[in-house]
Amino acid sequence: MAQTLDTGSDVLWARIRGVLRSEFGDAAYRSWLKPITLRDVSRNSVTLSVGTNFMRDWIQEHYLARIREIWSQENADVKTVEVVTFTSDSAEPQRTETRLQPSPAAPAVHARAVGPESRPAPLDPRLTFDNFITGKPNEFAYAAAQRVAESPTVPFNPLFLHGGVGLGKTHLMHAIAWHIRKAHPDRSVLYLSAEKFMYELIRAIRYKDMMDFKERFRSVDVLMIDDVQFFGGKDTTQEEFFHTFNALVDQNHQVVISADKSPSDLEGLEERLRSRMGWGLVADIHPTTYELRLSILQAKADAIGAMIEGGVLELLARRITSNVRELEGALNRVVYHAALVGRDITIETVQEVLADVLRANERKTSIEDIQKTVASHFNVRVSDMHSARRARAVARPRQVAMYLSKQLTSRSLPEIGRKFGGRDHTTVMHAVKKIEELCATDVSFAEDVELLKRMLER
């Protein structure tokens, strides 16, 4: 980016910082405002930079509106003020997606574009292998992703990553893309969400550009589509994806797919697509364990460099069990809070600042968790929990899951029925009775149910 600073802007920026300091106070000024650098001033736009995305987001949320206001009071020509992340190892500043106004800004880092029309999703610079903490629940998926990124040939096709929300699927896909971009700049990598794929397809159909669409998606070396559960029920999109997928695999080009469920559990997808997606390597990211959560928190806390009292990270790891995204969010909140009030992070601060999150995590067992755990315990599909099949082999596990839903969640019988393929509340009631009876008469069955309960309460 061109440096077009002149002393006039520097003086103006110094004055604006003075105003900010008196408005927000010394502590906030030192933590958040002083580190901002004035990078670029053109006639009507100003670019500020900071060293981390974390700082950038915080400034955006809390100070940018005010900075912009002051600036336009000083100079009415200035229409946009934006904050970017600028580190010494990034050639281009990483812009945020939210802007005050749309501006013809420099592009963020993209996976190599494969055609003038294609605008692949920007890759997030934080989502690399280096920043991915591994543990039991994700080590297999991590190893598989690394294999795909490092292997000179296609090791398995496709790589299918699946797991619940916020467990690192997108992170691993971006990491693959970053690695290949760096190690093999000549290979074209295209990463996009399933939604975006559909959007591009609709556009191609509307503008009668199908030749171009096919050419674009079928000529890449590595195609990554995130969150394909989105294709459920969208037949035209599935059809086109199926052909794209086959064309790539036939040419021995790598395909990486992610979804929130395993191929066999994806709903609303054509059978041939589901089975095809399971042909390569299917890698499951399991829910986090306490150990993994603690390692992730330690790594993130180190990266932020915050002063954190002993026991705080352990408390967060023990109490926030939903997913990594929420864990990160919780840590960020306490760090922000502590920085603002200028105190260290203590257990009391955490309990105060995160009261709502901690409460929400108390009732952590969801019916979906129960269905998943029970299905895998009895070796049936999660979709059998919703299906109309009455065979004992699936009906019994389904009853167990209904029983546990009643025991472990605060959902009502009709609510539980709805989650099991729209069954009636009397069916749930019957299931609960049936399982209670069985537990009373069959010791080993009772033990099974008890084990499941303990696993779910974990």
Interaction site with Mg ion (CB under 5 A)? 169-170
Please answer whether residues 215 and 250 qualify as being in contact, where contact means their C-beta atoms are separated by less than 8 angstroms: no
**Nearer Cβ to Mg ion (71/191):** 191
- CA–CA gap between residue 43 and residue 249 (Å, rounded): 50
Beta strands in 28-166 (DSSP E): 37-41, 45-50, 80-85, 94-95, 159-163
CB of 227 to ligand ADP, least distance (A): 7
Binding status of residue 319 toward ligand ADP by CB under 6 A: no
Rg (CA), the chain: 26
145, 161 Cβ separation under 8 angstroms: yes
Residue 324 interacting with ligand ADP (CB under 6 A): yes
Of 216, 222, 221, which Cα lies nearest the Cα of 201?
216
Within the chain, how many helices (H) and strands (E) appear?
20, 9
- Is residue 192 involved in binding ligand ADP (CB under 6 A)? no
Q: Is residue 411 involved in binding ligand ADP (CB under 6 A)?
A: no
User: In this structure, what are the phi and psi dihedrals at residue 455, rounded to the nearest 5 degrees?
Assistant: -60, -40
Minimum Å gap between C-beta 327 and ligand ADP is 7
Beta strands in 61-187 (DSSP E): 80-85, 94-95, 159-163
Taking the complex as a whole, the smallest distance from the CB of residue 295 to ligand ADP amounts, in Å, to 8
Which residue number, 57 or 270, has a Cβ lying nearer to ligand ADP? 57
168 binds, among ligand ADP, Mg ion, none (CB under 5 to 8 A by kind): ligand ADP
Please report whether residue 143 would count as binding ligand ADP according to CB under 6 A. no
Choice between 72 and 229, CB closer to Mg ion? 229
CB of 120 to ligand ADP, least distance (A): 17
Whose Cβ is closer to ligand ADP: residue 57's or residue 314's?
57
Residue 328 binding partner per list Mg ion, ligand ADP, none, with a CB distance cut-off of 5 to 8 Å that depends on partner kind: ligand ADP
The one-letter code for the residue type at 212 is D
Which listed option, Mg ion, ligand ADP, none, makes contact with residue 295 (CB within 5 to 8 Å by class)? none
171 scored as a contact of ligand ADP (CB under 6 A): yes
Q: By CB under 6 A, which span of 161-169, 180-188, 243-251, 385-393 interacts with ligand ADP?
A: 161-169
**How many CA atoms within 13 Å lie on the side-chain side of 360?**
10
Question: Shortest distance, CB of residue 68 to Mg ion, whole angstroms?
Answer: 31
Instruction: Say how many residues touch ligand ADP, by CB under 6 A.
Output: 17
Residue 406 interacts, among Mg ion, ligand ADP, none and using kind-specific CB cut-offs from 5 to 8 Å, with none
Using CB under 6 A as the binding rule, whether residue 166 contacts ligand ADP is answered as yes
Stretch that binds ligand ADP, among 25-33, 90-98, 166-174, 449-457 (CB under 6 A): 166-174
By CB under 6 A, tell whether 170 contacts ligand ADP: yes
Out of 47, 138, 321, 409, name the contact with ligand ADP by CB under 6 A.
138
Query: 223 or 324: whose CB is closer to ligand ADP?
Result: 324
Inter-residue contact 112 to 189 (CB < 8 Å): yes
Kind of pairing, strands 45-50 and 80-85? parallel
Question: Between the CA atoms of 366, 367, 372 and 374, what dihedral angle is there, to the nearest 10 degrees?
Answer: 110
Is residue 168 near ligand ADP by the rule CB under 6 A?
A: yes
Collapsed DSSP state (helix, strand, coil) of residue 81: strand
As a whole number of Å, the end-to-end CA separation of the chain is: 51
Ordered DSSP codes for 339-376: HHHT--B-HHHHHHHTHHHHHHHHT---HHHHHHHHHH
Q: Which of ligand ADP, Mg ion, none interacts with 103 (beta carbon under 5 to 8 A by kind)? A: none
- Point out the residue whose Cβ comes nearest to ligand ADP: 168
Q: Which is nearer to ligand ADP, 331 or 354 (CB)?
A: 331
Residue 82 near residue 117, CB atoms below 8 Å: no
Interface segment toward ligand ADP; rule CB under 6 A; list 162-170, 229-237, 335-343, 373-381: 162-170
The verdict on 325 binding ligand ADP (CB under 6 A) reads yes
Q: Which does 397 bind (CB under 5 to 8 A by kind): ligand ADP, Mg ion, none?
A: none
Give the Cα separation of 371 and 363 in Å (integer): 16
What does the block give as tokens for 236? 């035209």
Q: Which of 16, 12, 96 is nearest to 49 (CA)?
A: 96
CB closer to Mg ion out of 63 and 142: 142
Annotate 107-118 with b (16+ C-beta within 10 A) or e (fewer).
ebbbbbebeeeb
Return the number of other C-beta atoms located less than 10 Å from residue 303's C-beta. Answer: 12
Choose one: 47-55, 73-81, 131-139, 429-437; the region binding ligand ADP (CB under 6 A): 131-139
Among 13, 71, 129, 132, binds ligand ADP (CB under 6 A): 132
Site residues for ligand ADP per CB under 6 A: 127, 131-133, 138, 163, 165-171, 296, 324-325, 328
